[in-house]
Amino acid sequence: MPRIGDFYKVVVFLPPEYREKIMEAVNSAMEPIYPHYDMVFSYQMVKGCWRPLAGANPYQGKVGRLEEADELRLEFAIRASDLDKVVDAIMSAHPYEEPGIDIYPFIPGREIVGS
């Protein structure tokens, strides 16, 4: 039976046009956890805002000005053993200097491959 610490739920915010690129990068960096499925993601459109400070090189917006944009909230589950590889894949594929990445302990609601 899976335990806390065996799996994580990862949420990342990204420009909508980067959805496929980041999904492919993440999928390539992780071992599938659901029997007979890969590319298991959920996503939804959200609004995001940020103000780049001095020294920033923003993907969108200008230093010192509050920026607001449509973003995609991408969510997926991974094994704890894949966490570093998945974060590295996101950082390599993501256009933001500082991507918003949230990582939560996760207990699947059913038996998972190899658990």
Domain boundaries, the chain: 7-106
Q: Which residues contact 48 (CB under 8 A, 6 or more apart)?
A: 13, 68, 69, 70, 71, 100
pLDDT at 64: 98
pLDDT at 39: 98
pLDDT at 111: 61
**Of 30, 13, 21, 34, residue with least CA distance to 96:** 13
Query: What are the average pLDDT values for consecutive 10-residue runs of the chain, which has 115 residues?
Result: 81 98 99 92 98 96 97 97 98 97 86 59
CATH code at 7-106: 3.30.70.120
pLDDT at 73: 99
pLDDT at 34: 85
pLDDT at 112: 64
Q: Which residues contact 95 (CB under 8 A, 6 or more apart)?
A: 14, 15, 18, 59
pLDDT at 93: 98
pLDDT at 97: 95
pLDDT at 110: 66
19: left (phi over 0), alpha (psi -120 to 50) or beta: alpha
